[in-house]
Amino acid sequence: MRKYLVLSVLGACLLVFVPGTTAFAGNSTYYVGKNSQGQKFLFSVDQTARGPRFDPFFTNMTARCPVTGTVIEVSFSFEGFRIPIKNGKFSLRLNDLTDLFTWNGTVTPKKAAGKESFDLAAFDSQKGLQDCSTGSLSWTAQALVPAATKAAAPAASYRVNITKAADGSVHFSVAH
């Protein structure tokens, strides 16, 4: 069984959270979570003049090809996506000639949940087509929220490190 990497996620990034706000860049809340395959992802909900927006950073999945048995490690990174959230729900769909990616869900101030999937049309050894797919993956996320501030308490900051190891695994750590 061969493994392929479709798209590289992120080398590493650093986010700093300051009490009194929910993110470093304005009025946003960041969510970290895992899908039903145990793969990690990160997104934010940004409060804009046009309403809340789902702003994905990255997600990871594993697709399997039914005929050849090929395993594909799929990583998507995003920039500039701001999908409208209506009644707490969002839906992102990217459709191309060879692949289909979907990510949708429901967001509350403290958590989020939904479904994501990836399908890739691929040839088998007999020139037949196969659907290399993740299937429908459920996911859950928790909001990263700064600690409650106390009156006259000194300012504190939070550092969230998100790194991708050489083996492709993504790791999160939170420090005060």
Each domain of the chain, given as residue ranges in start order, spans 3-9+27-143
| 57 dihedral zone (left: phi>0; alpha: psi -120 to 50; beta) | alpha
Structure tokens at 32: 């970290």
Per-residue pLDDT for 154 more than 80?
no
More confident residue, 120 or 175: 120
Residue 173 confidence class, pLDDT cut points 50, 70, 90: low
In this prediction the pTM is: 0.69
The mean per-residue pLDDT over the stretch 141-163 comes to: 63
Can you give the pLDDT at residue 95? 93
Give whole-number Cα distances, 143 to 38, 75, 113, 115, 146, in Å.
Answer: 18, 22, 11, 17, 10
Neighbouring-strand partners of residue 58: 42, 77
List the single range of 90-94, 130-134, 160-164 with lowest mean pLDDT.
160-164
Query: Measured between alpha carbons, how far is 86 from 17 in angstroms, rounded to an integer?
Result: 26
Question: What does DSSP assign to residue 125?
Answer: T
Neighbouring-strand partners of residue 114: 105, 139
Average pLDDT of every residue of the chain: 80
How far from the centroid of its chain's Cα atoms is residue 96's Cα?
20
The mean per-residue pLDDT over the stretch 38-52 comes to: 95
The mean per-residue pLDDT over the stretch 40-56 comes to: 95
Structure tokens at 15: 């986010």
Can you give the pLDDT at residue 23? 38
Q: Are 31 and 42 in contact (CB under 8 A)?
A: yes
Give whole-number Cα distances, 35 to 41, 64, 84, 94, in Å.
Answer: 8, 16, 22, 19
Can you give the pLDDT at residue 167? 78
More confident residue, 19 or 120: 120
Q: What are phi and psi of 70, to 5 degrees?
A: -65, 135
List the single range of 18-32, 88-102, 107-121 with lowest mean pLDDT.
18-32
Q: Are 6 and 114 in contact (CB under 8 A)?
A: no
